[in-house]
Amino acid sequence: MGVDLAVTLGSVRLNNPVMLASGCCGYGMDMEPHLDLNRLGGVCLKGLSMAGSEGNKPPRIWETQGGMLNAIGLQNIGVSRFLAEKAPKLRTYGTAFVANFYGHTVDQYMEAARALGEEPALAALEMNISCPNIQEGGIQFGTDPASVYKVTKACRGATKKPLWVKLSPNAADVAATAKAAQDAGADALTCINTMPAMAIDVERREFRISNKVGGLSGPALKPIAVRIVYQVAKAVTIPVVGIGGVATAADALEFILAGAKAVQVGTALFVDPQCPYAILRGIEDYCARHGFPSVESLVGQVKDGAPMPKCHE
């Protein structure tokens, strides 16, 4: 008998656990020359804001050991243009599209959630909370449990769509931010966004990217992300989606064993845009080989005897 690949994240059912990550596949259709979107579990679209953004000036990307830095600056066409120009085409697919969105104030998040929440093409909304809150001195929403609660609660009240909160690895206590999002009504948590990082060209004595600081993604991020998925899955009852350096089936399986019900693939798409197919095939083979009838039955199945030690050095 075949392996059941479908996974359920609250009220959202994915045909399989492999999704594309926000910012790495545009508004979905950009991937069409490489991928049949209907064969994927879902697609997270580029982060949207009410006003849109032209992004940062170049250079905006730098390849580094084990990954890359990016400071695109959340370039996007804005919610209204997305709804008018992109969403109608997305309605014709059989995959789950998730709109990623952000703001710089609670009201901006709320407005975006309200507007995107009316769009039938979208299976869920994913809040990017790794953004500075300009009303609170520029501190990232995602680093402070009280801010996470406030912005999630506001968006919860603005839409009936399933609401996913994408956590920042930059929080001192990520289990606390995860619980704050759950308490405020989040339906699922995505772990994690990029890690702030820097690279310098020593000959020129210049920063590699114009913004100086960029987000680290790719293989270097994976062990951090797996640890966070594990901690968050233990701390909450809502489903967790794993993300950070997934490039192979073995990477995806680490996240699933740590407690993720689905994974998202980002940076690896720039190397091989068709890698989601191999990842999915590998997950299926693994389940068959190890006697798991479904992906759901594998979630959180790392052999987990003793409680996690407090000090790890």
Q: Would you name the residues annotated as active-site residues?
A: 131
Taking contact as CB under 6 A, which single stretch among the options 18-26, 228-236, 254-262, 299-307 is the one that binds ligand FMN? Answer: 18-26
Taking contact as CB under 6 A, which single stretch among the options 11-19, 70-78, 116-124, 284-292 is the one that binds ligand FMN? Answer: 70-78
- CA gap 25, 93 in Å, rounded: 15
Size of the site for ligand FMN (CB under 6 A): 25
Tell which phi-psi region holds residue 276, choosing left (phi > 0), alpha (psi between -120 and 50) or beta.
alpha
Q: Which of 14, 246, 249, 262 binds ligand FMN (CB under 6 A)?
A: 246
- Are residues 256 and 299 in contact, defined by beta-carbon separation less than 8 angstroms? yes
Interaction of residue 86 with ligand FMN, rule CB under 6 A: no
Encode 36-73: b = buried (16+ Cβ within 10 Å), e = exposed.
ebeebbbbbbbbbbbebbeebeeebebebeebbbbbbe
Q: Parallel, antiparallel, or unpaired for β 262-265 and 122-128? A: unpaired
Instruction: Kindly state the smallest distance separating residue 256's Cβ from ligand FMN, in Å.
Output: 15
Residue 120 preceded by cis peptide, ω within 30: no
- State how far the alpha carbon of 196 is from the alpha carbons of 71, 193, 217, in Å: 10, 10, 9
Instruction: Kindly state the smallest distance separating residue 190's Cβ from ligand FMN, in Å.
Output: 7
Q: Per-residue x/- marks for ligand FMN, 139-178, CB under 6 A?
A: ---------------------------x------------
- CA gap 146, 138 in Å, rounded: 15
Q: Which of 37, 50, 71, 74 binds ligand FMN (CB under 6 A)?
A: 74
Taking contact as CB under 6 A, which single stretch among the options 11-19, 179-187, 199-207, 241-249 is the one that binds ligand FMN? Answer: 241-249
Q: Which of 16, 100, 177, 182 binds ligand FMN (CB under 6 A)?
A: 100
Which is nearest to 114 in space by CA: 123, 104, 105, 101? 101
> 111, exposed or middle or buried, with CB in 10 Å at 0-12, 13-18, 19+?
buried
- Are residues 158 and 113 in contact, defined by beta-carbon separation less than 8 angstroms? yes
Interaction of residue 218 with ligand FMN, rule CB under 6 A: yes
222 or 292: whose CB is closer to ligand FMN?
Answer: 222
Determine the residue with CB nearest ligand FMN. 23
Return residues touching ligand FMN (CB under 6 A).
Answer: 21-24, 46-47, 70, 72, 74, 100, 128, 166, 193-194, 217-218, 221, 243-246, 265-268
